[in-house]
Structure 1
């Protein structure tokens, strides 16, 4: 039960989405006996019910497209820390062998400054161009997500990864990119069949 509570402890965080996803850290429990799962419950930790539903539906669809049964958690459990019992019931009723949970670990605001240099052509050409040129400044968010896979029978963490990407507002597209990055890794690591 204690491990199941960990699924929803981070409910205070907002689920973000990223594009151009890159894996920054990855861990797999070498003692997990398997077998690779064919049925998954998907949990998205978010204060926004809309973001949670879109994330869970999209990730579940990507898993199904990869030949893995998947059920979004929102269909049976409310958001927040009170959902642990509902999560246990959902895992049992769906026959899920693993639970995949994604949450925002951090969002960092970054800036990119690209100077536009003055034109050449001698000092006077450079001098006039220096006054006319202005740098291109762009602000963006780098979103770090943590995706964990839990074995509900043992209530132990069996696989976890952190990913980074540029924040975006198109949650379905960003979730698809995340799923397309993670599902092959989950299969290679023997977590999913």
Structure 2
């Protein structure tokens, strides 16, 4: 197997397997917001592609249901390609949502990691031959930064927001499950969810 194929295999493996972690990089909570904690959530995914939006919203809603919360996806009432502002208010009333969870992509960064592999031992001549034979390991990957905001449906004010980072993947359901697994406990601990 030549080095370029090996590098592609390593990158593919890294992207598929390493997307298992999502980390919170920044967070803010309105110090003046006293709740009460919510049990009914409207989920809004901001995406250019309607398929991506639907998959994200359905998956996050399912994760909220699994955690014992009421939740609804916005796509059923807000058509693709429109800002949906007028219909959003109607949807909040119709679903009884207490908070609105909105997630949007902030940026995608391409990163490269070069790890040199050292030459072997065995004196200068063994070291010198090993130095020529060894090649560095190069991996390329994407880091995806998302912003998730919570809006109080009653006051229409922003009450909580975080940015998260994770490795890029084309598996939207899995990435959404990982995001939900990171955010739902945090929302509960911060008193935003019951």
Unaligned stretches of 5+ in structure 2? 1-18
Q: How many positions carry a matched residue from both structures? A: 176
Q: Is the 8 A contact 1:40 1:96 kept in 2?
A: yes
Using the size of structure 2 for normalisation, the TM-score is 0.87
Match of 1:84 in 2: 85
Deviation of the 1:191 alpha carbon = 0.8
Aligned to 1:43: 44
SS of the aligned residue for 1:67 comes to: coil
Give the structure 2 partner of residue 72 of structure 1: 73
Alignment of 1:101-120 (within 5 A): 101-120=102-121
SS of aligned partner of 1:82: coil
Describe the SS at the equivalent of 1:74. Answer: coil
Structure 1 residue 64: Cα displacement: 0.7
Could you tell me how far apart the structure 2 residues matched to 1:79 and 1:20 are? 30
Query: Is 1:99 paired with 2:69?
Result: no
Report SS of the residue matched to 1:31.
coil
Listed as ranges, the gaps of 5+ residues in structure 1 are 1-17
Q: Partners of 1:134 and 1:85 in 2: how far apart?
A: 59
Determine helix, strand or coil for the equivalent of 2:84: helix
Q: For 1:32 and 1:79, how far apart are their aligned partners in 2?
A: 32
TM-score w.r.t. structure 1 length?
0.87
| Structure 1 residue ranges, 4+ long, deviating more than 6 angstroms after superposition | none
Whole-Å Cα distance in 2 between the matches of residues 25 and 161 of structure 1? 5
Aligned equivalent of 1:160: 161
* Aligned-pair CA distance for 1:80: 4.0
CA distance in 2, matches of 1:166, 1:159: 23
Q: What value does the CA root-mean-square deviation take over the aligned residues?
A: 1.2
Confirm or deny: 8 A CA contact 1:102 1:148 kept in the other structure.
yes
Separation of aligned partners in 1, 2:148 and 2:83: 21
